[in-house]
């Protein structure tokens, strides 16, 4: 790999020397080459983009193309003295200036004096200013004067990672090219090519790790590769790469997320322990978890995740396999937990604890059932209702025939067990089609209910008190109402004016003079019928009991409980 004492870093050794070698910036190369071919080369260019994506390399290739002894062509020859000097950085006509260190007005004045002269033995004097946004305001102003009236023999090439920091006056005088982050497959392909030239044995997985470390920057990826080669030599071991680059083995991430979705807390925490043992930074681990779940989410949410995710085909396949049984919604909820944990870790003294808590929470999250799925299930239940009798609303209605008031038994909270009913589609319970027959005229509870409704229509306030009363007696010309002893309602009802009003309304309701008596009754009062409020509450409780019992016995719910290994159900009436 290395030849003796001098080791040239890969980024320099394999710096692209022609447009065809520029990886991932084809849009820039093509436009520049077209401009050269058509003889319309601007006098100032601005190359923008992240670090290490090829801006300076492109500037040098451009300089060579313009000054090549072979003539201004598509590609530099790279063998003439002009090309070689530019590659070495010794050309007297190409000035490479680092804007970060030569940012003063004097530096720009020197530059202006310098470009007054014709090129010594090239076509153009070419000024390349890297990190041009670092120039001072005065320097920009000095530069602007030159840009406004550039000599024919001068070309400017500016490069910057932060174009928004440039004055508009400068921006408007440059032809701008935006360099993209280099895609992962392109970086991997380039690394593979270099590994071949350097006779290095390395797996695709390791190359992917190295490439990912560069985060879209070819230079950073090559620097990471240098580091790996310095450590491993010509035969690169996967585990060494993972340890060296401080990245978490993707298999471990896959294991942890797999355990998480099967509710295996033991395996999840064991995974964290393993991460900690190798000495990974916990926050970094959390960020990788986030990235991992983002990948899963995208894979489960879109048709062509490969267009969105920076993943190799093999990685994509693996994640596809992992995410098969996860719903996007469930992935998203976990992702939210990790994002929150990551934010908390910035200020925390116990980062591992925070990750562990987030992971445990994520592991124990009850699965959400999407609304549409619920609707589908209800529809299925409705269809099934015609064929199978074991559904709550049918059995309750049939076991509670409306012939006699039944709410004394409701009061004791005894749920009516669902009865088995012959399963013929035709024998649907009559109560579903015919309305329940009221106990009309019996002077019973139904009559009381109708009276309260009547009062409510006339006087809402009177009615609301009566709703809390128990109809102790309802005879011709007499109504006796019981209220809980000591309650506000008893006091309100014992008021003479109240009794007068109720008597008047009772007479209007029954058509005969009716006396109204109000009595206090003890809580837990033996046989007193329930007040409407109590009845409503007791009915609701009973309905809940019945619904819960029916739900527990229903085959679909049983299956769901089996699937999620859970026993708790919360029943809520719709």
**Chain positions contacting Zn ion, by CB under 5 A:** 68, 76-77, 80, 83
Smallest gap from residue 87 Cβ to Zn ion (A): 10
Smallest gap from residue 66 Cβ to Zn ion (A): 10
Smallest gap from residue 92 Cβ to Zn ion (A): 16
Smallest gap from residue 70 Cβ to Zn ion (A): 5
Residue (76 or 418) nearer to Zn ion, CB: 76
Smallest gap from residue 104 Cβ to Zn ion (A): 34
Residue (80 or 348) nearer to Zn ion, CB: 80
Q: Which long-range contacts (CB under 8 A, 24 or more apart) does 409-414 make?
A: 410/530, 410/535, 410/538, 410/539, 410/542, 411/530, 411/534, 411/538, 413/538, 413/541, 413/542, 413/545
List strands edge to edge, sheet with 470-475. Answer: 470-475, 478-484, 515-521
Residue (17 or 295) nearer to Zn ion, CB: 17
What is the C-alpha separation between 321 and 298, in angstroms, rounded? 13
Residue (80 or 267) nearer to Zn ion, CB: 80
Smallest gap from residue 61 Cβ to Zn ion (A): 11
Residue (86 or 490) nearer to Zn ion, CB: 86
Residue (62 or 208) nearer to Zn ion, CB: 62
Tokens of 316: 């994509």
Smallest gap from residue 125 Cβ to Zn ion (A): 17
Torsion angle of the four alpha carbons 327, 331, 336, 342, in this order, in degrees rounded to the nearest 10: 180
Cβ atoms 514, 481 nearer than 8 A: no
Tokens of 262: 């099967």
User: In 116-242, at which residue ranges do the beta strands (DSSP E only) sit?
Assistant: 125-130, 154-160, 175-178
Smallest gap from residue 84 Cβ to Zn ion (A): 8
Smallest gap from residue 71 Cβ to Zn ion (A): 9
Helices (H), ranges, 235-281: 238-245, 250-261, 265-277
Cβ atoms 489, 483 nearer than 8 A: yes
Residue (68 or 236) nearer to Zn ion, CB: 68
Cβ atoms 125, 119 nearer than 8 A: yes
Smallest gap from residue 31 Cβ to Zn ion (A): 21
Smallest gap from residue 173 Cβ to Zn ion (A): 28
Residue (75 or 546) nearer to Zn ion, CB: 75
Residue (66 or 455) nearer to Zn ion, CB: 66
Tokens of 20: 């065809």
Residue (75 or 249) nearer to Zn ion, CB: 75
Q: How far is CA 69 from CA 79, 81, 124, 127, 176, in A?
A: 9, 8, 12, 19, 27
Residue (83 or 222) nearer to Zn ion, CB: 83
What is the C-alpha separation between 464 and 188, in angstroms, rounded? 78
What is the C-alpha separation between 506 and 476, in angstroms, rounded? 11
For tokens 């026993």, name the residue: 567
Torsion angle of the four alpha carbons 275, 280, 283, 288, in this order, in degrees rounded to the nearest 10: -70
User: What's CA 428's distance to the chain center, in Å?
Assistant: 48
For the chain, the farthest-separated pair of C-alpha atoms sits apart, in whole angstroms, at: 127
């Amino acid at each position: 790999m290395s030849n003796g004492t001098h080791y040239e870093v890969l980024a320099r050794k394999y710096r692209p020397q022609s447009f065809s070698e520029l990886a991932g910036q084809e849009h820039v190369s093509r436009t520049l080459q077209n401009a050269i071919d058509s003889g319309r080369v601007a006098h100032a260019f601005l190359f923008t983009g992240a670090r290490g994506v090829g801006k300076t390399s492109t500037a040098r290739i451009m300089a060579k193309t313009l000054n090549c002894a072979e003539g201004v062509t598509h590609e530099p020859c790279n063998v003439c003295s002009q090309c070689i000097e530019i590659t070495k950085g010794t050309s007297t006509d190409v000035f490479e200036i680092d804007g970060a260190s030569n940012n003063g007005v004097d530096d720009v004045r020197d530059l202006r004096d310098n470009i007054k002269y014709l090129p010594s033995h090239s076509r153009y004097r070419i000024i390349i200013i890297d990190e041009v946004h670092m120039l001072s305001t005065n320097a920009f102003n000095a530069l602007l004067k030159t840009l406004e009236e550039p000599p024919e023999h001068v070309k400017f090439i500016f490069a910057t990672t932060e174009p928004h920091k440039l004055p508009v006056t400068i921006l408007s005088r440059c032809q701008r090219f935006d360099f993209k982050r280099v895609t992962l497959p392109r970086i991997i392909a380039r690394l593979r090519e270099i590994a071949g030239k350097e006779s290095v044995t390395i797996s695709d997985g390791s190359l992917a790790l190295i490439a990912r470390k560069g985060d879209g920057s070819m230079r950073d990826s090559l620097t990471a590769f240098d580091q790996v080669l310095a450590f491993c030599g010509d035969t690169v071991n996967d585990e060494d790469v993972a340890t060296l680059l401080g990245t978490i083995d993707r298999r471990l991430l896959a294991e942890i997320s797999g355990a998480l979705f099967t509710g295996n807390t033991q395996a999840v925490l064991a995974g964290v322990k393993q991460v900690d043992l190798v000495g990974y930074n916990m926050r970094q681990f959390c960020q990788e978890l986030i990235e991992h779940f983002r990948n899963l989410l995208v894979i489960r949410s879109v048709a062509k995740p490969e267009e969105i995710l920076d993943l190799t085909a093999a990685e994509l396949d693996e994640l596809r396999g992992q995410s098969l049984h996860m719903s996007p919604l469930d992935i998203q909820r976990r992702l939210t937990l990790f994002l929150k944990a990551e934010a908390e870790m910035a200020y925390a003294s116990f980062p591992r604890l925070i990750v562990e808590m987030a992971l445990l929470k994520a592991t124990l999250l009850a699965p959400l059932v999407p609304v549409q799925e619920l609707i589908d299930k209800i529809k299925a239940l409705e269809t099934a209702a015609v064929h199978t009798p074991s559904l709550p609303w049918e059995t309750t209605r049939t076991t509670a025939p409306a012939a006699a008031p039944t709410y004394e038994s409701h009061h004791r909270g005894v749920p009516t067990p669902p009865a088995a009913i012959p399963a013929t589609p035709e024998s649907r319970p009559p109560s579903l089609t015919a309305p329940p027959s009221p106990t009309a005229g019996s002077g019973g509870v139904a009559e009381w209910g109708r009276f309260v409704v009547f009062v409510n229509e006339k006087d809402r306030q009177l009615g609301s008190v009566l709703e809390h009363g128990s109809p102790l007696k309802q005879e011709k010309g007499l109504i006796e109402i019981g209220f809980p002893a000591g309650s506000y309602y008893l006091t309100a009802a014992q008021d003479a004016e109240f009794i007068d009003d109720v008597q008047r309304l009772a007479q209007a309701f029954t058509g005969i003079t009716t006396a109204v008596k109000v009595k206090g009754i003890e809580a837990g009062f033996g046989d007193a019928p329930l007040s409407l409020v109590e009845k409503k509450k007791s009915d609701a409780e009973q309905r809940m009991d019945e619904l819960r019992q029916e739900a527990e016995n229903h085959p679909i719910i049983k299956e769901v409980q089996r699937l999620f290994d859970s026993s708790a159900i919360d029943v809520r009436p719709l």
